[in-house]
């Protein structure tokens, strides 16, 4: 019903009854990132189930949208959540391009967006009351391991390799900054075509001839799987220790890599092996519900639900501006599986990072936490 000639959108958005809050869940359900989308959906739903589908007394109606592989499919899907389904708050969003493309839309529509994965630095570079993030920024998550690598390689040098797209650049630059600040030397740097590289042998040859004693790599998804396998097949694993941020060995990718992944060290804001009471309970419940170990994607989405609950708690009015305003007052999240965190002034999480290593535990590969990384 209704036309589209009203003055501003959203003001006729009387959201039905006041005790129901509509949450838009925008995750990929098709395409290459569908696996991430599934994890995020599960994390979010687990939180709701544990809260009996009521957050701070409000009934929660979840409307999901398939964002597909990129902004082409994501933008109409998310527009639907805002305009058609009249979501009060939206979470999800895997791809940075999608987040950047939709940023203005959310600000104009005055609907808060809680990003539960996309990591581009630019999304929150200029904070908006409507844009929040429970995940990380690319440069931070990669920078976290910089100092550790510099210490490990000592006089040796490190080769940097990453997929050639915006995120790959941010990850590499983030790492390089921290690494060089800690006195590390870079042996060389290569960006490989994103989405169309399947054979890394030429690059591996280059790495070998550069004489690097370690490698920092940023890949995710299938590229991560193929890269790590070929890294081992061509014998580099024995010559140069492989570092990265967590995504190179996260989720399903790790099982696909198999033994080739053993020994890879990564930094991330989460690992299911974190030994805390909150996390153990989370992992247990997650395994019981879905018969698999939670991933960082599931955790970030779980925490997005937590953020929504906290905001509803603090909100004066349950609509876009109300929830957005409340989000800046939520304070510390003490009960997160990743450990305690809070939103910083950019609306990104102020959180701990962990140094993890791929080890075999009870016959299964797992990212075992070596230690918390201190700045």
Partner 1 sequence: MLAWFDANTATILNGLALGAVLFLIAVGLSLVFGTMDVLNLAHGAVSLMGAYVGVAMYGAAPTTGMFFLAMAIAAAVGFAAGGVLATMVSPVRNHLRQALLTLGMALIVAELLQEVFGPEVRSVPVPEFLSSTVSLMGNPYPVYRLAMVAAGIVVAVVLYIVLERTRAGAIVRATVADRAMVEAIGIRTKVVLALVFGGGAALAAVGGLLAAPILGAQPGLDDQILLLALVIVVIGGLGSLRGALLGALVVGQVQTIGVSVVNEFASFLLFAALAAVLLFRPQGLLPARKGAHV
Partner 2 sequence: MSATNTLSGLTADQPGTTKLFNTGAPRPAFRLFVAVVILLILVALPFFLAPYPLSLAGRALAFGLLVVSVDLLTGVMGMPSLGQVAYFGAGAYTAGLVGIHLSSSGLVQLLIGTLAGAALALLTGAVAVRTAGIVFLMITLAIGELAHIGVDSLSVVGASNGLAGIPPVSVLPGGEPLTVPGYLYWWVLAVFVIGFCAAVILNRSPLGRSMRGVRDGELRLRALGQNTYSVKLIAYTIAGGVAGAAGTAWVAQTQFISPGDLGFDMAAFALLSVVLGGAGSLWGPVIGAGLVIFVRDWLGGYIEGRGTLLLGVVFVIAVYVLPRGVAGIKGRSLRRKSSDS
Cβ count within 10 A of residue 122: 14
Q: Are 129 and 28 in contact (CB under 8 A)?
A: no
CA-based nearest residue to 286, from 273, 299, 274: 299
CA separation for the pair 130, 323 (Å, rounded): 9
Determine the interface stretch with partner 2 among 6-14, 222-230, 270-278, 284-292 (rule: CB under 8 A): 6-14
> How far apart are alpha carbons 211 and 239 in whole angstroms?
9
Asked whether position 17 contacts partner 2 by CB under 8 A, the answer is no
- Return all residues near 65 (Cβ < 8 A) that are at least 6 apart: 24, 25, 26, 27, 77, 78, 80, 81
Binding-site partner at residue 143 among partner 2, partner 1, none, CB < 5 to 8 Å by type: none
Determine what percent of the chain falls in helix, strand and coil, rounding each to the nearest 5: 45, 25, 35
- Residues in region 181-240 near partner 1 by CB under 8 A: 190-199, 201-203, 205-206, 208-209, 221-222, 225-226, 229-230, 233-235
Q: Which helix (H) or strand (E) holds 126?
A: none
Q: Report in angstroms how near the CB of residue 71 gets to partner 1 at its nearest.
A: 16
In whole angstroms, how close is the CB of 118 to partner 2 at the nearest point?
10
> Least distance (Å) from partner 2 to the CB of residue 214?
27
In the set 15, 50, 70, 292, which binds partner 2 (CB under 8 A)? 70
Among positions 15, 32, 34, 189, the unique one binding partner 2 when judged by CB under 8 A: 34
**Residues 6+ positions from 132 with CB-CB distance below 8 Å:** 112, 113, 114, 115, 307, 327, 343, 347
Contacts with partner 2, 101-130, as mask; x by CB under 8 A: xxxxx--x-----------x-x--------
CB nearer to partner 2: pick between 29 and 273: 29
Residues 221/195, Cβ–Cβ less than 8 Å: no
**Least Å from the CB of residue 116 to partner 1:** 18
Q: How far apart are CA 73 and CA 79, in angstroms?
A: 10
Q: Residue 36 or residue 254: which is nearer to partner 2 going by CB?
A: 36
d(CA 66, CA 74): 7
Whether 164 contacts 330, CB under 8 Å: no
Angle, helices 166-181 vs 96-109, to 10°: value is 100
Cα Rg, the chain, nearest whole Å = 21
Binding track over 152-191 against partner 2, x by CB under 8 A: ------------xxxx-x----------------------
Q: Which is nearer to partner 2, 104 or 332 (CB)?
A: 104
Q: Which is nearer to partner 2, 28 or 339 (CB)?
A: 28
**Structure tokens that stand for 217 in this block:** 């790599």
101 binds, among partner 1, partner 2, none (CB under 5 to 8 A by kind): partner 2
- Site track 248-267 with partner 1 (rule: CB under 8 A), x = hit: ---xxx--xxx---------
Determine if 65 is a binding residue for partner 2 (CB under 8 A): yes
70 binds partner 1 per the rule CB under 8 A: no
Q: Which is nearer to partner 2, 11 or 19 (CB)?
A: 11
Residues forming contacts to partner 1 in the complex (CB under 8 A) are 30-35, 37-38, 69, 164, 190-199, 201-203, 205-206, 208-209, 221-222, 225-226, 229-230, 233-235, 251-253, 256-258
């Amino acid at each position: 019903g209704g036309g589209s000639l009203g003055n501003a959108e959203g003001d006729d958005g009387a959201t039905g009854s006041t005790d129901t809050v509509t949450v838009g869940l925008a995750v990929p359900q098709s395409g290459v990132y569908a696996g991430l989308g599934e994890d995020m959906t599960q994390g979010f739903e687990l939180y709701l189930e544990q809260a009996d589908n009521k957050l701070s007394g409000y009934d929660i109606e979840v409307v999901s949208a398939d964002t597909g592989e990129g902004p082409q499919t994501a933008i109409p899907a998310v527009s639907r959540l805002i305009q058609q389904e009249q979501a009060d708050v939206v979470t999800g969003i895997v791809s940075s391009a999608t987040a950047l493309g939709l940023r203005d839309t959310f600000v104009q529509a005055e609907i808060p967006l809680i990003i539960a994965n996309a990591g581009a630095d630019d999304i929150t570079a200029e904070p908006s009351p409507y844009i929040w993030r429970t995940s990380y920024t690319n440069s931070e998550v990669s920078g976290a391991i910089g100092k550790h690598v510099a210490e490990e390689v000592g006089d040796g040098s490190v080769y940097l390799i990453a997929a050639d797209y915006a995120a790959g650049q941010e990850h590499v630059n983030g790492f390089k900054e921290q690494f060089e600040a800690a006195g590390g030397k870079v042996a060389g740097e290569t960006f490989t075509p994103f989405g169309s590289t399947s054979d890394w042998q030429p690059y591996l040859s280059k790495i070998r001839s550069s004489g690097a004693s370690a490698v920092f790599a940023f890949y995710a998804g299938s590229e991560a799987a193929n890269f790590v396998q070929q890294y081992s097949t061509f014998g580099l694993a024995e010559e140069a220790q492989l570092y990265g941020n967590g995504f190179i060995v996260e989720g399903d990718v790790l099982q696909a890599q198999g033994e080739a992944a053993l020994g890879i060290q990564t930094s991330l804001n989460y690992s299911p092996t974190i030994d805390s009471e909150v996390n153990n309970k989370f992992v247990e419940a997650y395994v019981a519900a879905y018969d698999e170990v939670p991933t960082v994607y599931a955790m970030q989405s779980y925490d997005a639900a937590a953020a929504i609950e906290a905001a509803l708690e603090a909100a004066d009015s349950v609509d876009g501006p109300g929830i957005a305003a409340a989000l800046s007052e939520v304070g510390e999240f003490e009960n997160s599986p990743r450990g305690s965190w809070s939103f910083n002034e950019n609306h990104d999480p102020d959180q701990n990072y962990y140094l993890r290593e791929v080890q075999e535990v009870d016959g299964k590969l797992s990212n075992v936490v070596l230690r918390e990384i201190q700045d």
